[in-house]
Amino acid sequence: MQLEGVLKEVFKKIDTIEQRGALAAYIPELAKVDPKQFGVHISTVDQKHFGMGDYNTPFSIQSIAKVLSLIFAYRIVGDDMWKRVGVEPSGTPFNSLVQLEADRGIPRNPFLNAGALVVADILLSHLEHPKDDFIRFVQSMSDNTSIDYSERIAQSEKAVGYRNVALCNFIKSFGQIKNEPEAVLDFYYALCSLEMNCKDLSETFLFLANNGIVVKNNRTILSEAQSKRINALMQTCGFYDESGEFAFKVGLPGKSGVGGGIIAVHPDQYAIAVWSPTLNKKGNSYKGMKFLEEFTTRSELSIF
């Protein structure tokens, strides 16, 4: 497989570059991760799979979970979703409060912390057992029942989540959060604590490369139109105020998390997950960004 050869070459090259950046030390548990770990795994729509490095090592996916919670809520409420949260890039950091005042508590997009809190609120309003229902949804998409939340990481994030508390209460003051902030925040921290490995991620997100349909069993997760919209949001908003840079250098829809993971999707081709815990100044994996730029350049496969 040609992609396998390119992946091997690029992995070996990026594995040797100087390790720059820093761990997400503001979340105490993430500060304990071995910064030298590096893994990548690709899953293709023709059901080929290949990984290198630490691709089987679970890590905290953090904001990558925002895509999964958005998909779950989108399945439930459909286009009513966009009455509660926007679809525009923010140009601001992921935990910024700046635009909420002018936008009357409606987050600019669902991948900002503010937007993910609103999505969590929507799920709380529609699910009888939100945490259980959501984890079963993720497990079913990945075909892996061992995927779970990390209570240790959730509590670590909660202990320092002062800005998220401010965001949630500020949005609540505009009437855009319907449930009690404490319940919304508890669910949000659980979502962000999800632990998956690169193999789990690439297999879980592969349906977005297949018009919303799970390759293994032909189960429809989203309609083709809905799948297109999720990919569009990842393309324009998946990397916060570095989203334009990612589109410019990599050219794929994707989503990052401060645990050092990145998932990227090439429609009709593949889903690829990269993990390296040290982050650049924008909060995205330093080696992960370098790897994907080199990978799409060498493979000559991007959406542009």
Query: Which residues carry out catalysis?
Result: 63, 66, 188, 240, 258
**What's the Cα-to-Cα distance from 39 to each of 58, 262, 273, rounded to whole Å?**
10, 11, 8
* DSSP-assigned letters across all residues of 217-243: T--BSS-HHHHHHHHHHHHHHTTGGGH
Query: What is the C-alpha to C-alpha distance for residues 111 and 192, in angstroms, rounded to an integer?
Result: 12
Q: Which of 247, 242, 239, 250 is nearest to 300 (CA)?
A: 250
Concatenated DSSP letters for 130-170?
A: HHHHHHHHHHHHHT-TT-B--HHHHHHHHHT-HHHHHHHHH
d(CA 66, CA 85): 13
Instruction: At 28, list the tokens.
Output: 């105490």
Q: What is d(CA 148, CA 252) in angstroms, rounded to the nearest whole number?
A: 28
CA distance 39 to 142: 18
> Looking at this protein, which amino acid is placed at residue 297?
T
Taking residue 254's Cβ as centre, other Cβ atoms within 10 Å add up to: 30
Dihedral Cα 43, 279, 182, 130, nearest 10 deg:
10
- Across the strands, what pairs with 274? 40, 262
**Continuous H helices in the chain:** 2-15, 65-77, 98-102, 113-126, 130-142, 151-159, 162-173, 181-192, 198-205, 224-237, 243-249, 286-299
